[in-house]
Amino acid sequence: MPDYQIVRDDDPRCAELEAAGYRVVAESWAVRLVDPDRELLESAVRRATAGGITVRELGPEAAPALHELEKANEPDYPYTPATHRVVGAAKDIRALWPGHRVFGAFDGHRLVGATVIRQKDGFGDTAFTSVLSTHRRRGVAQAVKAASILALLDVGITRFSTGGAAANQASLQANQSLGYQLTEQWRTYAP
């Protein structure tokens, strides 16, 4: 296995690693949202519901549907040393509750999108957001993320964070459409 080095893109070590023959094999990002615009979030949910999607918080009884959604999307997650998602077994999805809150989007009775968030260090931190390929680019990701942020705003959380692989520009754009600001970029180097 290569000796990966994961370094912020503004770190002087980037130049040192490149001079030593390391090459960038992946990039990733982090975004933050502070004091979100409630109307912007509510409009993201309204757009999805106007298109026939139902958005709501999910309890542990939805674990089988969430596991099915995640297994369907697992091949689409970018795999990098810094950012990767391994779905695991159904019991791993069930273990998300009660430490996380899960918000889902339904097309009829089928779960077509979901986001998982938790409170961590005073932030609402999104673990992952997942949308079936048949429902991407329709505002589903923004809707479930917006619903999760609105729910945490209601309990006094006003700062939010998440991150992802640079290869997944759609994820970055979905976050930015809700007001998230890019705060960090990382490079993964291999010899």
Rounded Cα distance between 102 and 117, Å, is: 6
Cis peptide before 98 (omega within 30 of 0): yes
pTM (two decimals): 0.92
Rounded Cα distance between 149 and 57, Å, is: 11
Rounded Cα distance between 8 and 15, Å, is: 11
pLDDT by position in tens, the chain (length 191): 568 999 999 999 999 999 999 999 999 999 999 999 999 999 999 999 999 999 999 999 999 999 999 999 999 888 888 887 888 899 999 999 999 999 999 999 999 999 999 999 899 999 999 999 999 999 999 999 999 999 999 999 999 999 999 998 989 999 999 999 999 999 999 99
Rounded Cα distance between 95 and 85, Å, is: 15
Q: Which residues constitute the domain of residue 151?
A: 5-190
pLDDT for 68 equals 97
Q: State both tokens at 43.
A: 């409009």
pLDDT for 161 equals 97
26 forms beta bridges with: 188
CATH of the domain at 85: 3.40.630.30
Which residues in 119-153 are b (16+ Cβ under 10 Å) and which e? eeeebbbbebbbbbeebbebbbbbbbbbbbbbebb
Q: How many structural domains does the chain have?
A: 1
DSSP state of 158: -
The H or E element spanning position 49 is helix 38-50
3-state secondary structure of 94: helix
